[in-house]
Structure 1
Amino acid sequence: MATVLLVRHGRTTANASGVLAGRTAGIKLDEAGRNQVARTGERLGVVPLVAVVSSPLERCRQTSRAILDRQAGSPATPIEKGITECDYGQWQGRGFGELAKEDLWSVVQAQPSAAVFPGGESMAAMQSRSVAAIRRHDAAFEMEHGPGAVWVAVSHGDVIKAILADALGMHLDLFQRINVDPASISIVRYGSTRPDVIATNTEAGDLSWLGAEPSADGAPVGGGAGHRAPATPHS
């Protein structure tokens, strides 16, 4: 089965100032964010990626470029609107301190499946279109490159949390229990019977094992032996 690495963009000027950026144009990584994505690119440099799919927003495209800069090959680089940021409508551009006073804030925290942003989209619609986009690309890359294909999707915090909730079989109302930090990597494999969530919200650690032969479809009874590292060439 193919493997998708869900990468959140690095920290932005809006993140640092406590503003909900949403789909506002021109929101870019700040210095901390650029350093974060450089480290993420370094982590992924040992993994031969078949594609780096990005949200169309600038902060994600910047993150994608940092990943591509460390790749020895030439992965495909499609832009995917299906994994763009949630349309927060009239909430966009406002500070979190102000938004926390709105009645909708408690709905977003406790029952996000019922949250509809004024002038924007619902969180349920955001989850539906982002999961559909990820599964569509994953199936296409596996068909083209085989079950060992590894690819990256660069997206946004709430979007990745919603994708992970779906993969974990969690109701959307529980997705606030998941943390997805800037420039973090989460790992999912979509098997024939169910998704397999390998890791969430990782910011460090060796990923070279992703270049090894993929695991069999299905969970090993008893927990298995863990990840297999790539074979070391003999001198």
Structure 2
Amino acid sequence: MATLILVRHARSAANGAGTLAGRTPGVGLDETGRGQAAGLPERLSGLGVRRVVVSPLQRCQETAAGVAAAHGLEPVEEPGLAEVDYGDWTGRRIADLTEEPLWKVVQQHPSAAVFPGGEGLAQMQARAVAALREHDRAVEREFGERAVWVACSHGDVIKSVLADALGTHLDAFQRIVVEPCSVSVVRFTETRPFVLKVNDTGTDLSGLVPPEHPASDAVVGGSTGTAE
């Protein structure tokens, strides 16, 4: 069972401007985001990352470039990790979108939300989870069960993947917070996924190195922690 590190792209120009970038081409990182991305390789150093998979969009590619270079890897572009296709909402100000009737559906019943001219959030979750599980199987086949790999995607995409891993209905995914350049970690097993971290913006990720013989059973009574 490989270990998947989910990275949300660092802050983009659209994040700073309060607009919904969606799949608009040419949306890169702003100055804050570039600083966040610059610190990412150090945060993930020592983990022996075997593969870096990225959304096709520029802000994810810029975020993941340093991590891939630090591990001597060429990023793998994965359309399944692309941002939600927000359709007619793309490029609009968030403040204006909150007045749309669909906004309440997105917040309270997202599994039923389908963006005009775009895709539904349930559709997005299905294609993202399928893509990640396929890459995870491929990484484990090639590099073994202790392999660590990175996928860089978008906030709503990562939240939906975490909801799936937690066994939580998509209607509750808005309760999950995933900030720019945060790290969340999932380890898939034969019987269930384990969620090791959510929305981690710190620097010490050394504890993510998988044990020599990872198990698919949960520890009854909770983990005993890491030995000093």
| TM-score when normalising by structure 2 | 0.96
Give how far 1:67 is off.
1.5
List per-residue Cα deviations over 1:79-136 (Å, max 9, x = no partner): 0000100000000000001100000000000000000000000000000000000001
Q: Where does 1:205-220 land on structure 2 (aligned, <5 Å)?
A: 205-214=203-212, 215-220=214-219
Partner of 2:53, secondary structure, is strand
Q: Structure 1 residue 120 and structure 2 residue 118: aligned? A: yes
Q: Using the alignment, how far apart are the partners of 1:105 and 1:227 within structure 2?
A: 43
The Cα of 1:162 is off from its aligned counterpart by: 0.3
Contact 1:13/1:27 (CA < 8 Å) preserved in 2?
A: yes
Equivalenced residues, count: 227
In structure 2, relative to structure 1, the CA distance for the partners of 1:135 and 1:177 (3 Å cut) is same
Tell me the distance in 2 between the aligned counterparts of 1:162 and 1:41: 25
Give the aligned partner of residue 23 of structure 2. Answer: 23
Task: Indicate the SS of the match to 1:131.
Answer: helix
CA–CA distance in structure 2, aligned partners of residues 166 and 139 of structure 1: 17
User: Which digits, 9 at most, give the CA deviation of each residue in 1:63-88, with x for residues without a partner?
Assistant: 111212333xx335210000100000
Give CA deviations for 1:49-76 in whole Å, capped at 9, x if unaligned.
Answer: 00000000000000111212333xx335
Runs of 4+ in 1 over 3 A off after TM superposition: none
Aligned-pair distance for 1:216? 2.0
CA distance in 1, matches of 2:92, 2:154: 17
* Map of 2:140 onto structure 1: 142
5+ residue gaps, structure 1: 230-235
Distance 1:151 1:75 in 2: 11
Q: In structure 2, how many angstroms separate the alpha carbons of the residues matched to 1:123 and 1:41?
A: 31
State the alpha-carbon separation in 1 of the partners of residues 134 and 74 from structure 2. 15
Alignment of 1:55-204 (within 5 A): 55-71=55-71, 74-75=72-73, 77-204=75-202
**CA shift for structure 1 position 220:** 1.3
Distance 1:212 1:176, change over 3 A: closer
CA distance in 2, matches of 1:25, 1:171: 31
Equivalent position of 1:48 in the other structure: 48
Assess if the C-alpha contact under 8 Å between 2:110 and 2:121 holds in 1: yes
Task: Describe the superposition over 1:181-203 as per-residue Cα deviations: whole angstroms up to 9, x where unpaired.
Answer: 00000000011111100010000
Kept in 1: contact 2:18–2:94 (CA 8 A): yes
Asked whether the equivalents of residues 11 and 29 of structure 1 are also in contact (C-alpha less than 8 Å), the reply is yes
Report the counterpart of residue 232 of structure 1 in structure 2: none
The answer for unaligned runs of 5 or more in structure 2 is none
> Structure 1: which amino acid aligns with 2:67?
I
Identity of aligned residues (%): 53
The answer to whether the Cα contact below 8 Å between 2:192 and 2:216 also exists between their aligned partners in 1 is: no
| Structure 1 counterpart SS, 2:16 | helix
> C-alpha separation between the residues in 2 aligned to 1:228 and 1:91?
50
Q: Which secondary structure does the structure 1 equivalent of 2:204 belong to? A: coil
